[in-house]
């Protein structure tokens, strides 16, 4: 009975390692068939374990090639700087990321408020991070998106605004969110954007485009076309 239980436990451990993604050669390294002798005694079939290779758990885990955070991840930080609570949150986030060995790029406007992190200063226009944390409201998000969109850099927005319609994370959840981020437990949500051509150049916008006069109380005459077909003629103060 003891022998039978030992075999079951060994089979269970192999199953666990396989479920965690271990390669067959890693398993055979842990449980080597040559370390077991099968003997028959007194007409009873038994499995006698003469030697069991014991490997510490931490060594086994190292061989599983689990995808964990590493120092190659680079994160940028942009933020509104007109609110003290936003800057305090920025400081906490920066300390957390440094403690976890993350390479940082911090926007110049935020460095003016946190000069002790001067060594990480990178203007948002020059950022090349894997992801950018955006601390603020919708205005902060829209500004960051306008600059970062051509580089295809994902934005994770933390709400420190009035409405925060475009933000994803509330301040009280930020460190739980960062833990998942550093362990690659996330997905990237792609959103439709508008390409706008005006003044002989193209621009990209996220939310909407507003056409309005620069002169108050002056009406505009607008013609709207889709695929060169007239949709509507509009006389109004503006058009969204």
Tokens of 96: 């957390």
- Give the Cα separation of 141 and 165 in Å (integer): 10
- Give the Cα separation of 117 and 112 in Å (integer): 9
- Give the Cα separation of 206 and 191 in Å (integer): 8
Eight-class DSSP state of 121: B
Q: Catalytic pick from 26, 82, 107, 138?
A: 138
CB of 46 closer than 8 Å to CB of 2? no
- Give the Cα separation of 134 and 171 in Å (integer): 12
17-25 long-range CB contacts below 8 Å, 24 or more apart? 17/60, 17/64, 20/64, 20/66, 21/64, 21/65, 21/66, 22/60, 22/63, 22/64, 23/63
> Does the annotation count 82 as an active-site position?
no
Close Cβ partners of 7 (under 8 Å, ≥ 6 residues apart): 47
Q: What is the 3-state secondary structure (H, E, C) of 33-46?
A: HHHCEEEEECCEEE
Planar angle of CA 73, 155, 183, nearest 5 degrees: 40
Where in the sequence numbering do the catalytic residues fall?
138
């Amino acid at each position: 009975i003891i022998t039978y239980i030992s075999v079951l436990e060994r089979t269970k451990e192999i199953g666990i390692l396989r479920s965690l993604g271990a390669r067959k050669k890693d398993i055979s390294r842990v449980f080597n068939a040559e370390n077991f002798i099968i003997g028959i005694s007194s007409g009873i079939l038994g499995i006698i374990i003469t030697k069991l290779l014991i490997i510490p758990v931490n060594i086994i885990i190292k061989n599983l090639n689990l995808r964990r955070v590493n120092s190659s991840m680079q994160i940028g930080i942009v933020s509104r700087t007109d609110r003290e609570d936003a800057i305090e949150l920025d400081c906490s986030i920066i300390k957390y990321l440094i403690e976890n060995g993350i390479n940082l790029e911090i926007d110049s406007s935020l460095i003016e408020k946190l000069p002790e992190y001067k060594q990480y200063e990178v203007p948002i226009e020059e950022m090349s991070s894997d992801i950018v944390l955006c601390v603020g409201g919708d205005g902060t998000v829209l500004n960051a998106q306008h600059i970062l969109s051509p580089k295809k850099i994902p934005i994770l927005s933390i709400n420190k605004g009035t409405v925060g319609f475009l933000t994803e994370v509330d301040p009280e959840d930020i460190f739980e969110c960062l833990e998942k981020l550093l362990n690659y437990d996330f997905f990237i949500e792609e959103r439709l954007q508008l390409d706008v051509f005006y003044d002989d150049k193209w621009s990209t916008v996220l939310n909407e485009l507003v056409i309005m006069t620069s002169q108050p109380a002056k009406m505009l005459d607008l013609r709207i076309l889709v695929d060169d077909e007239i949709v509507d003629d509009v006389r109004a103060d503006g058009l969204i």
